[in-house]
Amino acid sequence: MRKRRSIEEYKAGLLASDRVVLSQAITLVESTLEADRTIAASLIQEILPHTGNSIRIGITGVPGVGKSTFIEAFGMLLLEAGKKVAVLAVDPSSQLSKGSILGDKTRMETLASDKRAFIRPSPSGMTLGGVSAKTRESMLLCEAAGFDVILIETVGVGQSETAVKHMVDFFLLLMLAGAGDELQGIKKGIMEMADALVIHKAEGANLEAAKKAKANYQNALHLFKESDKFWNTPVLLASSLAKLGLEEIWKMLLEYQEKMMRSGYWDENRANQRLQWLEDQIQDLLGEAFLRHPKVKDSLAKGKLLIQSGQLYPGVLAKELVRYFLDSGK
C-alpha cells in the first residue's frame, strides 16, 4: 500500500505542477475515509491562496451532442493559445459497481496525451446535478497546479443538471439541430441559466438545419429569458470535426470575462458560490451524522419494512427519526 503523502508534500507537488501529485490529491479529496477527509480539508485550506486564477467553464448538453468531442477540439485550441487546460469529466456511474461507465479519458486521447493538459474522469455516484461530489475541491487543486482554464463536463441534461451553474464562471450549453422539435429537446430552465448556446455538429448536410436551429433558439431566448444589462446570451454554431466556430467561442468567453470583471459580477458570483458551497457542506455533514446515529439507524431499519408494506406514512417516520436525532443533542 502506497504511503500517504504529507500535506506539505501534496502542496509542494501541486505548486510544482506535478500531474501525478495532482491526480493523487484528487483521489484524496474523493476518498470517503475519515483520515483522508481530514488531510484533504487541511490541504484545500493550505492551497486557497494559490487558487482562483482560472476561468471555470461548465459544459453540458443533451446525450449525443458530442460534449467530449467538443472539449477535445476546444481544449487543443486553448493549448495552441498558450493556455494550460484541465478537464474534470464527470461520468455517469454504474448503480452496481458505482464506477464510471463511459471513461472520458479514453475518448479524448489527443488532449490527454498533451502534457499541458490534465483530464480527470470521476464517477458522479449518487450526486445530483451532473457533477461529482468533489468537483469544487478538484477544481481548486487544478488551479493550484497552474491550470488557467478549467472545463467541467457534466453527465448530460436532466432535471437537476444545473448544479454546475453554481460552481463555474460560465455555463455553456451544447445543442443539436435536426433532431425533431429542437425547442422540446431541452428544459426551458437550463436554457435560461445558460450564458451561451452552441449548436454543435454544424457541418456538411447538417449545416442548414443548424442555421435554422440557431434562429429558433435566438427567438426562444428573446421570448422567455430576461435581458441582462451586461450580457445577452448568444447562440453560436460550431463543428469540432471541421474545427469551425471554436475560435469565436473562445473570443466570446474572453469578452464575457472582461465585461463581468468590469461590472463586479465576476467576484460577486464567486463569493455567492462559496456561500452555496458552505450550505452544501453543512447539509452533507448533517446527513451523514444523522444516518450514523444509533437510534436513527435502528428505527430506520424497522420503519422501512412498515413503509414498504404500506402500513406507515413516510412523513411520520421521518419526523420521528429527526426527533431522535435532535433529542440526542440536548
Q: Pick the residue with more confidence: 161 or 72?
A: 72
The answer to whether 140 touches 28, Cβ cutoff 8 Å, is: no
The answer to whether 44 touches 140, Cβ cutoff 8 Å, is: yes
Q: For residue 33, which phi and psi values (nearest 5 degrees)?
A: -70, 135
Cell numbers standing for residue 222: 428573446
For CA atoms 268, 269, 275, 277, the dihedral sign is: negative
**Class of 52-263 in CATH:** alpha beta
For 189-206, what is the mean pLDDT?
Answer: 89
> What would the pLDDT profile of 120-151 be if each residue is shown by its tens digit?
987 555 444 334 568 899 999 999 999 999 99
For residue 102, the model assigns a pLDDT of 44
Closest Cα partner for 72 from 179, 139, 16, 153?
A: 153
CA distance 174 to 238: 9
Domain ranges (residues) in the chain: 52-263, 277-327
Number of Cβ within a 10 Å radius of residue 92: 16
Tell me the whole-structure pTM to 2 decimals: 0.87
For residue 148, the model assigns a pLDDT of 95
> What would the pLDDT profile of 36-92 be if each residue is shown by its tens digit?
999 999 999 999 999 999 999 999 887 788 998 999 999 999 999 999 999 998 655
Cell numbers standing for residue 131: 457533477
For residue 243, the model assigns a pLDDT of 93
- Scanning 199-264, the segments in alpha helix (DSSP H) are 207-224, 246-263
The pLDDT-based confidence of 179 (bands split at 50, 70, 90) is: low
Q: For residue 268, which phi and psi values (nearest 5 degrees)?
A: -65, -45
